[in-house]
Structure 1
Amino acid sequence: MKQPSVAEVVKAIAAETQMPMETVAKMYEETWAEYSEGARIKDYLTVLVTRRVRENLRNMRTSAH
């Protein structure tokens, strides 16, 4: 099964959270860098980073209201 590209993941998160793609892309890059630093097994990084970015964006939206 093919992994989705970063652009596809960012686009999906942006659509789901109704946030600008630039914001999502920046957060994704920062989270990826944080998670991949020192990681020996990178098979699940996409899943973990995607989950963290979604959670962070949801938390931003709920705390803004």
Structure 2
Amino acid sequence: MALNRFMTVEAFHADTFEIEQNGEGAGNVPVDESNLIAISIKKLTGTLPPVKIKVSNDIPACGGFGV
């Protein structure tokens, strides 16, 4: 089954590491080093680089998508 729901992750140059969360679950997802994206980056690179990560999500959490 194909769905028209997406999570878009963009990275931009910045002075410090930052995560901006928009869309579904924005108020419920951590935007600090405990965010899964930040954890993944840190595991891959050993550090959090000075980038701004912008996450736009229209996939509802616990919305019946196999969760």
Please indicate, yes or no, whether the TM-score normalized by the shorter chain is above 0.5. Answer: no
Task: Tell me the TM-score normalised to structure 2 length.
Answer: 0.36
Q: Which has the higher contact order (CA 8 A, sep 6+)?
A: 2
Q: TM-score, normalised by structure 1?
A: 0.37
Q: Which has the larger radius of gyration?
A: 2
Structure richer in helix, relative to its length: 1
Greater percentage in strand: 2
